[in-house]
Amino acid sequence: MSKFIINGGNPIHGEIDVQGAKNAVLPILAATILADGESVIHNCPKLRDVDKTDLVLEELGCTVRREGGTVYINPNGLCGCRICEELMRQMRSSIIFLGAIVSRCGEAVVSMPGGCPIGLRPIDLHLKALRELGVEISEKHGYIHCTSNGIRGANIHLDFPSVGATENIMLAAVISDGVTTVSNAAREPEIVDLQNFLNSMGAEIAGAGGNIIRIKGVDKLHGSEYAIMPDRIVAATYLAAAAITGGEILLNKAEPRDMGAILQVLREMGPDVKIGGDKIYLKSKGLLRSVHTVRTMPYPGFPTDIQSPFMALASLARGTSVFVENIFENRFQHVDELVRMGADIKVEGRSAVVRGVEGLQGANVVSRELRGGAALVVAALAAEGQTVISGIEYIDRGYENIENYLGSCGADIKRA
Ligand code: UD1
């Protein structure tokens, strides 16, 4: 198993082009199976989760070819409607294929996605919504079996604005009879990206980005060429890396308009942050300040995915910061590891109280999930001495060549 070895203390100085968004590319790749013909997806990040999604597409009978950042998907040989248990276990977000497969094939079989280190992550909202669209679902022996004689439009209200459930409804209902409305829909920018891609294939969807999405069913979709939006969580992680090391960074190919809550917290903590077009510039102004309370919320609130890297920042800020995790019940697994590095953090239920310390020290730490692992990288960049991070396969799920990007900005980071 690989590890990252990081010698802390070098300020991050440089420029980074932000990669395509993991959370946008996964549903968009699932959408390609709905087309009559090839789709060409640009700006696809090279990530473990994208490789696994390509394997799911191949298992279903699609031809998948990658050339650099472009992936070509031809679904014309589609012959399967089943995702094997191994892939479902490796990548829980394969559940996003359910709506697309049952719409395309009239049947879908997937194994129940297992629990996940960040919480239980049930799929009840996905299944309830699919039933409302006329899909018959049985759950037996750890498998979910869906059948449909054609998707019927419906009015669906989500009890919680789940990102995955909103996307699954869009993918199931895009080719259907009638109109589907989703109220209390998730408003994340990645849902707007999925809407834009589906519309470029001939769909008639409106409203993504707001809390009501209207899907007028169409008979068929054609293949399309599309570029994935920038990854706002990866962008925020690199900004955190520059802020914690007292550095200076320019992000290109970013989308600052999607990052309002994140940039507001960063500014509150002290660094100078400027935006313009697709660029974000951050320059440290010395010591970080604590932030009063950060509450994770559905978009446009502060994203749960950047809670842990920002907690690393707060651990070196002057004063006390509070983080309240409202989305996933078990997303504080990085805390013990940050404490091992000298941070002063106390967790009480869904809240973490972070008292800023003078310095962090390098240590042997373990990444137990994707964003928690990124938090350890951020902390290690500012720690005194050497940090060895194991469990980095989680970090590879969402960050493309993180060691190369940070290394090009002056970090001393190696994969061993
Ligand atoms: C997506 C993102 C993930 C991000 C999360 C919240 C992808 C691939 N992943 O995950 O990075 O952290 O949004 O922004 O896009 N829930 C239910 N029942 C359901 C579905 C969800 O109770 O059927 C609950 C979950 O347990 C969680 C909350 O709703 O507490 C939010 O989950 P959801 O928005 O669905 O997250 P994901 O789509 O899994």
Q: How far, in Å, from the CA of 229 to the mean position of ligand 1?
A: 19
pLDDT beyond 80 at 121? no
Strand, helix or coil at 391?
coil
Q: Are strands 82-83 and 107-111 parallel, antiparallel or unpaired?
A: parallel
- The finding on whether 34 has its CB within 6 A of some atom of ligand 1 is no
Q: How far, in Å, from the CA of 93 to the mean position of ligand 1?
A: 9
- The finding on whether 162 has its CB within 6 A of some atom of ligand 1 is yes
pLDDT beyond 60 at 115? no
pLDDT beyond 60 at 283? yes
Burial of 348 (0-12, 13-18, 19+ CB in 10 A): exposed
pLDDT beyond 70 at 355? yes
Q: How far apart are the first and last CA of the chain?
A: 9
Tokens 């932000």 belong to which residue?
A: 18
Q: How far, in Å, from the CA of 161 to the mean position of ligand 1?
A: 9
- The finding on whether 232 has its CB within 6 A of some atom of ligand 1 is no
Nearest CA to ligand 1 atom 38: 164
pLDDT beyond 80 at 118? no
Q: Looking at residue 141, what is its pLDDT?
A: 86
Strand, helix or coil at 314?
helix
Domain map (residue ranges) of the chain: 4-19+230-415, 22-227
Task: Say if CB 6 and CB 411 are below 8 A apart.
Answer: yes
pLDDT tens per residue, range 25-71: 999 999 999 999 999 999 999 999 999 999 999 999 999 999 999 99
- The finding on whether 159 has its CB within 6 A of some atom of ligand 1 is no
Mean pLDDT, residues 246-273? 98
Radius of gyration of the chain (CA): 21
Strand, helix or coil at 382?
helix
Mean pLDDT, residues 162-177? 97
Which residues belong to the active site?
116
Task: Say if CB 263 and CB 270 are below 8 A apart.
Answer: no
SS3 of 230-259: the string is ECHHHHHHHHHHHHHCCCEEEEECCCHHHC
pLDDT tens per residue, range 399-408: 999 999 999 9
Measured from the Cβ of residue 106, the count of other Cβ atoms closer than 10 Å reads: 15
Nearest CA to ligand 1 atom 24: 121
Ligand 1: which of 98, 163, 193, 329 to mutate, most ligand atoms within 8 Å of CB? Answer: 163
Q: Looking at residue 313, what is its pLDDT?
A: 97
Q: How far, in Å, from the CA of 363 to the mean position of ligand 1?
A: 32
Amino acid at 395: I
Burial 325-347 (b: 16+ CB within 10 A, else e): bebbebbbbbbebbbbbbbebee
Provide the CATH topology of domain 22-227.
Answer: UDP-n-acetylglucosamine1-carboxyvinyl-transferase; Chain (3.65.10)
pLDDT beyond 90 at 140? no
Domain 4-19+230-415: homologous superfamily in CATH? Enolpyruvate transferase domain (3.65.10.10)
Ligand 1 atom having least distance to the Cα of 327 = 30
Beta bridge partners of 147: 107, 136
| Distance from chain centroid for Cα 223 | 25
Q: Looking at residue 200, what is its pLDDT?
A: 98
Q: Predicted confidence band at 120 (pLDDT cuts at 50, 70, 90)?
A: low
Mean pLDDT, residues 104-116? 83
Ligand 1 atom having least distance to the Cα of 93 = 8
Q: How far, in Å, from the CA of 84 to the mean position of ligand 1?
A: 22
Cα–Cα distance for residue pair 310/241, rounded to 1 Å: 10
Mean pLDDT, residues 381-386? 98
Measured from the Cβ of residue 169, the count of other Cβ atoms closer than 10 Å reads: 28
Instruction: Tell me what percent of the residues of the chain surpass a pLDDT of 70.
Output: 98
Ligand 1 atom having least distance to the Cα of 190 = 15
Nearest CA to ligand 1 atom 2: 23
Q: What are phi and psi of 357, to 5 degrees?
A: -115, 165
Task: Say if CB 100 and CB 34 are below 8 A apart.
Answer: yes
Q: Looking at residue 122, what is its pLDDT?
A: 86
pLDDT beyond 90 at 91? no
- The finding on whether 160 has its CB within 6 A of some atom of ligand 1 is yes
Cα–Cα distance for residue pair 62/163, rounded to 1 Å: 25
Amino acid at 30: A
Q: Looking at residue 116, what is its pLDDT?
A: 59
Q: Looking at residue 242, what is its pLDDT?
A: 98
Q: Looking at residue 142, what is its pLDDT?
A: 84
Mean pLDDT, residues 156-176? 97
